[in-house]
A and B are shown apart, each in its own frame.
Chain A
């Protein structure tokens, strides 16, 4: 009982200090190089120089450092204004084209076409990308989510 109480207090105190679940974000730029045989090779680099047209890979790593499963884990990444969504590296990602109000697969979404009707949404319309894990992250579990974008 005493141990349980300590654990409980520890859990309550944790959010103020270090969250038991951590989400870290890193960005890479894709460089396409062609070798002597003409084969294309894609290399990920830490960006030193980013210019319009550069292809970025956003990587989100999560870790459940707590002793309990983390349930209903949902990650949301608003697209930076200067980055156009390209694709998600995960079939379970959903996107929003209206600032996060509604969500779905890109192919299923529509946006106003400026003439009073609607047209199918395109990659450049994406404002947010979201993943909702169906299963809890087990205690100590980690994972990785990715999506790609282009510097506008």
Chain B
């Protein structure tokens, strides 16, 4: 190879810069994997050369170029709830979990802000607190630290993450199937803005802080879905008189049928049906049935009981889409 006159090198460099475009995308995706070189690092480059100009081998060094790596401000927020979190009307202490990651290259504090009224949903959860996890990923009231903006903004090393819990109350007015979205935003305390925005002298290690591709802020949504259920009760009466007819005469037997229908995506708990025996009638002992199965009158292992002149059937937790049928009998005095 001939020594390169500088004009030739320039031509070559020009062509190389044009061809270089294809390589850029691949390189950019590689460097996006990690926070990268720590802010404040000095990149020092020196080349050496050997040659012989007739006096034997000579060694020379080039000048040294030092570049300071500045702080790149980047952050991501990701919801830890891939599916909507079930809630119920009026429920308190409802938890959404997020991971905040410093994808920049310097230690940075991040301000956290919840957004419950961002739209795209059916209701606005009421955010009551933001809590910083103690590192085990589990929300522990009273153990994890309640976040106070500007006071205990989480400071994260490059590539470090923290789990943040957003605690909400579900309004009592919501109905089954309603969705409520809460977003969490994290913003670099040094500053945010368009990528490339520079904050002179504010970077770790004495350099500048430069807003990275994330704009130095991140945001993600978490969502609740209301799983509520409602109970509808219907009661019918059928009379069977001693003469074989259906007349309400003394001695006739009345069979009451109470149907409890539970609808909705949730369930009702502690469901109990109580019905008093009407005046001028007398309960027929041992006449309670639940789903066609006879129940005893005593308060015992089965669901039915009779006492204080009223019938009680304890149904417990019943999920939406189920029906319970209770019958009992009384005679007309």
Contacts and interface: CB of A to CB of B under 8 A. Distances in A.
Interface of A: 11-12, 15, 19-27, 30, 32, 40, 42, 44, 47, 49-53, 55-56, 58, 60-62, 64, 66, 68-78, 80, 82-84, 86-87, 89-90, 92, 124, 133-138, 141-146, 148, 150-152
Interface SS majority for chain A: strand
B47 interface: yes
Given A50-B67, A135-B1, 17 more contacts: A24-B63, A25-B47, A25-B63, A49-B198, A50-B69, A51-B212, A66-B53, A70-B52, A74-B50, A83-B45, A135-B3, A142-B6, A144-B10, A144-B13, A148-B20, A152-B31, A152-B37
Nearest to A22: B60
Contacts of A150: 27, 30-31
SS of B interface (majority): mixed
Contact of B37 (A32, A74, A82, A141): A82
A103 B23 CA distance: 23
B330 interface: no
Contact of A82 (B32, B41, B208): B41
A102 B51 CA distance: 20
Contacts of A12: 55
17 contacts: A12-B55, A15-B58, A21-B49, A23-B48, A25-B46, A25-B65, A32-B24, A53-B28, A53-B72, A68-B54, A71-B52, A75-B48, A80-B43, A144-B9, A144-B13, A151-B37, A152-B31
B149 to A, nearest CB: 28
Contact of B43 (A60, A83, A146): A83
A62 B65 contact: no
A132 B26 CA distance: 29
A152 B65 contact: no
B31 A72 contact: no
B16 A68 contact: no
A21 B207 CA distance: 35
A77 to B, nearest CB: 4
Interface of B: 1-6, 9-10, 12-13, 16-17, 20-21, 23-24, 27-28, 30-32, 35-37, 41, 43-55, 57-58, 60-65, 67-72, 105, 198, 207-208, 210, 212
Nearest to A88: B16
Contacts of A76: 47-49
Contacts of A133: 1, 3
A52 B105 contact: yes
Contacts of B32: 53
A58 B43 CA distance: 12
A135 B2 contact: yes
B321 to A, nearest CB: 54
Contact of A24 (B28, B31, B62): B62
A4 to B, nearest CB: 12
B67 A146 contact: no
B51 A73 contact: yes
Nearest to A122: B30
B101 to A, nearest CB: 15
A83 B41 CA distance: 11
Contacts of A64: 53
Contacts of A27: 45, 65, 67
Nearest to A69: B53
- The 8 A-B pairs at the shortest CB distance, nearest first, are namely A52-B36, A144-B9, A25-B62, A143-B4, A77-B47, A82-B37, A53-B31, A23-B62
Contact of B12 (A44, A87, A90): A90
A74 B49 contact: yes
Given A68-B53, A76-B49, A80-B45, A141 B16 contact: no
Nearest to A63: B6
Given A52-B35, A70-B51, A142-B5, A25 B44 contact: no
B28 A49 contact: no
Contacts of A82: 37, 41, 43, 69
